[in-house]
């Protein structure tokens, strides 16, 4: 048969715990400020787990192939000065590579449609 994953990620577990279900009362959601504090704590936990994964799985992410580290080694830089770099991929929201992708996407629109003539923002309360 099909192999099932017996491990549940923190993200999946907390999504399950915070789900609104018909006919069932979710005590966590009724606690207002405590619920907000719980959600912030769980978000911090999930983010630190994601960062820990990225830190300890640099080989899987092929981070050694990134050019900056290779250039430093080729230029005979002192290994102690290089430090322990952790490369954040573009899939990590907020990383420099992620922002660079957004910039490239925006520049693609400018190249395709020309420079914008108006910059309009909306704020709703």
> How many angstroms separate the CA atoms of 106 and 123, rounded?
22
Q: Where are the domains of the chain?
A: 6-56
CB atoms within 10 A of CB 54: 19
Higher pLDDT, residue 83 or 57: 57
CB atoms within 10 A of CB 97: 13
Q: What percent of the chain has pLDDT over 70?
A: 81
Contact yes or no for 95/61 (Cβ under 8 A): no
Categorize the per-residue pLDDT at 112 as very low, low, confident or very high, splitting at 50, 70 and 90: very high
Determine the pLDDT at residue 70.
Answer: 64
User: Following CA atoms 64, 55, 6, 24 in sequence, which dihedral angle do they give, to the nearest 10 degrees?
Assistant: -140
CB atoms within 10 A of CB 13: 12
Categorize the per-residue pLDDT at 118 as very low, low, confident or very high, splitting at 50, 70 and 90: confident
Give 61-71 pLDDT, tens digit per residue: 776 666 666 66
Q: Which two tokens stand for residue 107?
A: 């520049």
**Does the pLDDT of residue 42 top 90, yes or no?**
yes
Claim: this prediction has a pTM higher than 0.85: no
Three-state secondary-structure class, residue 90: coil
Q: Which two tokens stand for residue 4?
A: 């099932």
């Amino acid at each position: 048969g099909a192999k099932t994953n017996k491990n549940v990620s923190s993200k999946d577990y907390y999504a399950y715990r915070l789900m609104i279900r018909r006919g069932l009362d979710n005590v966590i959601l009724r606690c207002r400020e405590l619920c907000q504090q719980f959600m912030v704590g769980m978000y911090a936990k999930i983010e630190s787990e994601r960062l820990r994964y990225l830190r300890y799985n640099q080989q899987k992410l092929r981070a050694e192939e990134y050019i900056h580290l290779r250039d430093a080694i080729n230029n005979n830089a002192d290994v102690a000065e290089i430090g322990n770099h952790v490369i954040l991929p573009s899939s990590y929201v907020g990383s420099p590579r992620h922002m660079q992708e957004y910039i490239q996407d925006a520049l693609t629109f400018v190249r395709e449609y020309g420079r914008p003539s108006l910059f309009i923002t909306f704020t709703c309360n």
